[in-house]
Amino acid sequence: MRLFLRQLRRRPTALVGFVLLVALSVVAVFAPMIAPYDPMKLSVSHRLEAPSAEHLMGTDDFGRDILSRVVYGARLSLMTGAAISALSACLGLVLGIISGFYRWPALVLMRIVDALMAFPSILLALAITAITGKASLTNVIIALAVVYTPQMARIGYSATLTIRQNLYVEACRAIGVSNVRVMFRHVLPNFVSLVIVQTTFIFGWAILGAAALDFLGVGTPPSVPAWGAMVNGGRIYISRAPWMILFPGAFVFMTVLALNLLGDALRDMLDPQLRKL
Amino acid sequence: MARYMLKRIAGVLVTAVVVLVIAFFLIRLIPGDPAGVALGPEATPERINEFREQMGLNQPLPVQFGIFVGRLLHGDFGTSIFFRQPVSQVILSRVETTFWLTCAALLVTLLIGVPLGVIAAVKRGTWIDQLLLLAALVGVSLPSFWLGLLLILLFAVDLRWLPSSGFPSVFLTGQIANLRYIILPAVTLGVAECALLARLTRSSMLDVLRTDYITTARAKGLKESRIIIKHGLRNAAIPIVTVIGFTIAKLFAGAVVTETVFALPGIGRLAIEAILSRDYPVIQALMVVVALTYLVFNLLTDLVYAVIDPRVSYR
């Protein structure tokens, strides 16, 4: 933790990312207290109002307050990103470590991983959402978790292959420690830094991916205040009410930028060999 | 070298088979009878039975997979439920737009990404380097759908310099000027890749600039610009060239969002139309075509890399 804080002090960009992320998390947690209006409340008399003291970010085509919807959108986006990155990290690591330890599962699992990585992420996510049925948050999480699991599996696989060559792993096996214990107690902790860095990046990509699915109309239902869906809703009013796309899009951008800045700093801190990338 | 190439080709063939298996079974995970889904709710039981017979859906799954692969090898992806046309014809009618868009976005990526990466490497550790690295992070963090709309707002709505949507065919009309419809989408699509390429170029240039032959070139008194371009960039270009195949495949995929923003009649827009209308034969065909294109580009890149830098095949 002390190392992390020192790194933050040394890199102003990382500090900006960290502060932005903390601010967004506070907004997400205290959304009901921060949002000035009910994000779902329709008001035909206030539709397409420009930003003003009453509505700081203006209103949308249904007269809903954009600031309130953006604030609730932060909660949804961060929760979606966290769920996708946690799910893909857990699944990917289990698959990767097992493949790194056992030859036959590796032959099958890693071919599946390679094949899944050949599908463009957005196309695979679209196909999975089409199969899972109607637009829902759960379907978005499942689709994007399937998309990002192979990346974590690859990292888990290559790290396990390297670490299992170490003498202490051999020593564990010699004294009869079970494979499961060796995998998760002695191998996994040795590449946990790589996992943290990758999870931070996946968090950002997941938020971008979920926003893209929402924008395309196959993500969360349109009534839910999701940033991507809000931008999509503002498309037809682009010349009349540009604030409908400006603010929600800016929040997607800020969140992903904060995670990327932080991920970069973490990578430098935890893996100095990658620093030059 | 030959052994390395054969190994890579065999690896890609195995992955291609797994791609086909995934595309085949993913569509079969859809709840309900595929024949019912394909023919719609108004289909009579006789028509459904006839369709099942025709498509081999009453055969065991491994046989169905065999039929699926056999048809693919003949370029037969089935018939689109929505367009009522052969899927291959539907896809071919959309290729032109995506082709121009991918080429233009690649041009944007190379023309901006490589020079920025070289400048960042040459000015390593200075404020220029820090600024360019930050710009690269900003580039990868921008949601493409938002960037596209911002560009429309500025260049199409406010300044009225460029069109905001559509793309009349260049091949059919013979009007090369139609390519102006591609400018904004290409910039939108190219920005993220440009940021990634700038980071790769920087890192590759830094590796080269540390080598002895660069020190020797400097000791000989060569001009700095000549050292950077002739000795530095030419050698640093090898890893850059090898990611171009990968970049093309990624740009092709990124077209899904960009073509939707700019209402371009391309493959990406087709994917969305197919998803929204539940046109499963088209979804399956696009998954196969795009994934196999990606694998072929990656294989070609690896083989070219092995030819340019033979050390790769001995690693």
DSSP string over B172-215: HH--GGGGHHHHHHHHHHHHHHHHHHHHHHHHHHHHHHTSHHHH
> What's the confidence (pLDDT) of residue B32?
66
Distance of CA B214 to the CA centre of its chain: 35
- Dump pLDDT digits (tens) for A119-129: 888 888 888 88
* CA–CA min distance A179, chain B (Å): 29
A274 interfacial to chain B (CB closer than 8 Å): no
Q: What percent of chain A has pLDDT over 70?
A: 97
Nearest by Cα to B99 from B280, B284, B237, B293: B293
- Dump pLDDT digits (tens) for B272-283: 888 887 788 888
> What's the confidence (pLDDT) of residue A277?
42
**Beta-carbon count within 10 A of B248 CB:** 20
Please give the average per-residue pLDDT across B292-306, as a whole number: 83
* CA–CA min distance B283, chain A (Å): 7
Task: Give the residue, A221 or A89, on which the prediction is more confident.
Answer: A89
| Cβ contact B141–A121 (<8 Å) | no
- Give the A window 107-126 contacts with B, CB below 8 Å: 111-112, 114-116, 118-124, 126
> What's the confidence (pLDDT) of residue A19?
92
Confidence bin at B315 (pLDDT 50/70/90): low
Please give the average per-residue pLDDT across B16-31, as a whole number: 84
Please give the average per-residue pLDDT across A197-225, as a whole number: 90
Q: What percent of chain A has pLDDT over 90?
A: 53
Question: Which chain B residue's Cα is nearest to A235?
Answer: B149
Burial of A193 (0-12, 13-18, 19+ CB in 10 A): middle
> What's the confidence (pLDDT) of residue A272?
54
B26 interfacial to chain A (CB closer than 8 Å): yes
Of A120, A204, A216, nearest to B253 by CB-CB distance is: A120
> What's the confidence (pLDDT) of residue A219?
84
| Cβ contact B271–A116 (<8 Å) | no
ipTM field:
0.90
Kindly report which listed range (A205-219, B33-47, B171-185) carries the lowest average pLDDT score: B33-47
Domains of chain B (ranges, CATH numbers): 94-265 (1.10.3720.10)
Residues of B in contact with A127 (CB under 8 A): 26, 275, 283, 287
* CA–CA min distance B50, chain A (Å): 25
Please give the average per-residue pLDDT across A81-90, as a whole number: 96
Question: Which chain A residue's Cα is nearest to B164?
Answer: A238
Please give the average per-residue pLDDT across B134-140, as a whole number: 91
Please name the helix (run of DSSP H) or strand (run of DSSP E) that holds residue B47, with its range, or none.
Answer: helix B45-55
Please give the average per-residue pLDDT across B279-290, as a whole number: 87
Of A111, A261, A276, nearest to B206 by CB-CB distance is: A276
Kindly report which listed range (A6-10, A150-154, B134-138) carries the lowest average pLDDT score: A6-10
Q: What percent of chain B has pLDDT over 90?
A: 33
B145 interfacial to chain A (CB closer than 8 Å): yes
Of A120, A130, A253, nearest to B278 by CB-CB distance is: A130
Kindly report which listed range (A256-265, B74-83, B115-124) carries the lowest average pLDDT score: B74-83
- Residue A273, pLDDT > 60, answer no
Nearest by Cα to B202 from B140, B304, B128: B128
- Dump pLDDT digits (tens) for A49-59: 899 999 999 99
Residues of A in contact with B140 (CB under 8 A): 260
> What's the confidence (pLDDT) of residue A241?
94
Kindly report which listed range (A20-29, B86-95, B296-305) carries the lowest average pLDDT score: B296-305
Q: How far is CA B172 from CA A32, B84, B178, B182, B262, in A?
A: 56, 23, 11, 16, 20
Residues of A in contact with B252 (CB under 8 A): 120
Mean pLDDT for all residues in chain B: 86
Residues of B in contact with A238 (CB under 8 A): 149, 152-153, 157
- Dump pLDDT digits (tens) for B209-265: 888 988 898 898 888 888 888 888 888 887 787 777 778 877 877 888 999 999 999
* CA–CA min distance B315, chain A (Å): 16
Can you name the residues that pair with B79 across neighbouring β-strands?
B86
Tokens 């797994």 found at:
B18
- Dump pLDDT digits (tens) for B52-72: 777 777 788 888 888 888 888
Confidence bin at B314 (pLDDT 50/70/90): low
> What's the confidence (pLDDT) of residue A207?
95
Confidence bin at B128 (pLDDT 50/70/90): very high
> What's the confidence (pLDDT) of residue B211?
87
> What's the confidence (pLDDT) of residue A193?
84
- Residue A276, pLDDT > 50, answer no
Q: How far apart are CA A171 and CA B313, in angstroms?
A: 34
Please give the average per-residue pLDDT across B149-178, as a whole number: 88
pTM strictly above 0.80: yes
| Cβ contact A212–B157 (<8 Å) | no
Q: What percent of chain B has pLDDT over 70?
A: 96
> What's the confidence (pLDDT) of residue B24?
87
Question: Which chain A residue's Cα is nearest to B138?
Answer: A257
